[in-house]
Amino acid sequence: MAKLDFSNLRVYIDDSNHYKYIELTKSQENQSGDKQSQAEDVPFMKMPDLFVAAACVGAKYDNYKEPTKKKDIFLAAAFDQKTQIPVLISLAYKKLGTTENLLEPRQILKICEGWANGGFSNLYDILIEGKGLRPLYRLVDYIINEQQNE
């Protein structure tokens, strides 16, 4: 979809979740003897990864909630073209129910911001209170369980 231009668009989340976004993506200094801690406790490499995951969880539980106090966190150009953009379009499709004017970047983002905002609290619960000792393993456990329940 070479013509979909996300280059100048910014992605917004609810300001109240901003610190949690930082917490879950923050790159920490390694320290001797505990070098895996970063990946184990910080389950997302980048904010776009966390945003897409939150949007997926929101859509999964049909939890759509547009941000009230918006805070921009990254440029939409940071999304991965091969996986994340098609998924975001699919999430917009879920909300619109039609392919008519589906490929409008601003609209796609706006809808996904609603899914991500709705799903963020669910995702946060999974990561912080799920099964397993560390957030990354809780996420892994969730993915594997969901796959088994399919």
Partner 1 sequence: MKFINITLYNFSSFYKQHSIEFHTKTEYPVSIIVGGSGFGKTSIFDAINWALYGKEYENILRIQYQKDILDYVNETALKEALPENKAVEMSSTLLFEHEEKRYRVQQAICVRNNNGRLYITDRTTNLYDIHSNGNWTEISFIESFLNAILPNNVRDYFLFNGDRINQLSMPGASKYIQEGIYHVVDLEILQSGIDHLEFIAKKYRKLAKNNSTGVVADIEEKYSNAREELDRLESIISQQNDELMALENNIEIVEAKLREMSEVKDLQAKRDALKREYDIELKNFNKITSDLRNATSIAIMDIILPTLLDLRDELNNKRSKGEIPSKISESLLKDILELRKCICGTEFEEGDSIYQELTRRLENEVNKRDQGNDLLELYFELNSTIDEIERSKNQVINLELERTKIDQKIKEINRELNFIMEKLKDKPEEEIKQLVNKLEEYRQSHDNIILDINDNKHYKDKVESEIRKLQVKREEQGKIQDNVRQFQLRDDLAQQSADELARIFKQFIDESREEIQSLTREEFVRFIPTVSNLNVAISPEFHYDVRDQYGRPALQQLSNGQRQALSLAYITAISRVSEKNPPLVIDMPFGRLDEDVQENIAERLPNLASQVILLMLPGAEWNDKTREILYQKTADIYNLDFDPENRQSSIRKEK
Instruction: State the residues that interact with partner 1 by CB under 8 A.
Output: 1-4, 19, 22-23, 26, 28-29, 31-37, 39-40, 43-45, 49, 52-53, 56-57, 59-60, 82-83, 85-87, 89-91, 93-94, 99, 102-103, 136, 139-140, 143-144, 146-147, 150
39 HSE (CA, 13 A, CB side): 4
- The SS3 call for residue 143 is helix
- The SS3 call for residue 23 is helix
Q: Which residues pair with 70 in a beta bridge?
A: 14
- Given the complex with partner 1, which of 129 and 150 has the nearer CB atom? 150
Within 10 angstroms of residue 144's Cβ, the number of other Cβ atoms is: 10
- Given the complex with partner 1, which of 66 and 141 has the nearer CB atom? 141
- Given the complex with partner 1, which of 8 and 34 has the nearer CB atom? 34
Q: Cα–Cα distance between 27 and 21 in angstroms, integer?
A: 12
In the bound complex, what is the minimum distance in angstroms from residue 21's beta carbon to partner 1? 11
In the bound complex, what is the minimum distance in angstroms from residue 95's beta carbon to partner 1? 10
In the bound complex, what is the minimum distance in angstroms from residue 117's beta carbon to partner 1? 16
- Given the complex with partner 1, which of 52 and 76 has the nearer CB atom? 52
DSSP result, 31-66: -TT-TTHHHHH---SSHHHHHHHHHHHHHHTT----
In the bound complex, what is the minimum distance in angstroms from residue 16's beta carbon to partner 1? 11
